[in-house]
Amino acid sequence: MFCHVYRMIFKMALKVLNKEFVMEETKTLASTCKKQGQKLVRTLWFVAGTICVVLGSIGIVLPVLPTTPFLLAAAACYYKSSPRMHNWLLNNRLFGEYIRNYKEGKGLTVKTKLTALTMLWVTIGFSTVFMLNRLLPAQLVLPMQLIMTAVAIAVSTHILRLPTFKKA
């Protein structure tokens, strides 16, 4: 009789120990997966931020591609992924002042506005007059010229509506 009781107690103890072991193992696995998931998400934010910096950099010399939204998106992505890269972007000699002034609502300097508008219209004008005829079939040239002109007008309107920042 006592053997039967001991056997039942032993089986119950094994079940409890096994259950605790499985629960501990599950917690460890869950926390490991969570950490790996967080690392993956941070890596994806970092990659997205880097892509935005590249596109923003291209947008500086190619007016059809907007610079400001990409740089602001890069700042947001780096904020979520890497404080070091976020600080680098905000303190960068090319982008830092530009991003800080925009985020603080100060706007753009007159020189930046003039440079952006000049580059925008020179590039759009050159592309619509000389390049589209060579790159597209004849039936697509006029619609593309209209689209590019509409984009240029929209970007110009945005730039002109930004506050003008005067350097001290």
Q: What pLDDT, on a 0 to 100 scale, did the predictor assign at position 50? A: 93
Amino acid at 141: V
Q: Output the CA torsion sign for 7, 10, 12, 15.
A: negative
Q: Is 77 helix (H, G, I), strand (E, B) or coil?
A: helix
Concatenating the DSSP letter of every residue in 111-154 gives: HHHHHHHHHHHHHHHHIIIIIHHHHS-HHHHHHHHHHHHHHHHH
Instruction: Count Cα neighbours of 9 within 13 Å in the Cβ-side half-sphere.
Output: 6
Confidence of residue 64 (pLDDT cuts 50, 70, 90): low
- Evaluate whether 120 touches 155 at the Cβ level (below 8 Å): yes
Q: What pLDDT, on a 0 to 100 scale, did the predictor assign at position 60? A: 78
Cα separations in angstroms, 67 against 7, 13, 19, 23, 159 = 75, 66, 57, 51, 11
Confidence check: pLDDT of 46 > 90:
yes
What are the sequence ranges of the domains in the chain? 1-104, 108-168
> With pLDDT > 90 as the criterion, what percentage of the chain qualifies?
14
Q: What pLDDT, on a 0 to 100 scale, did the predictor assign at position 47? A: 93
Provide the greatest CA pair distance for the chain: 102
Q: With a threshold of 0.75, does the pTM exceed it?
A: no
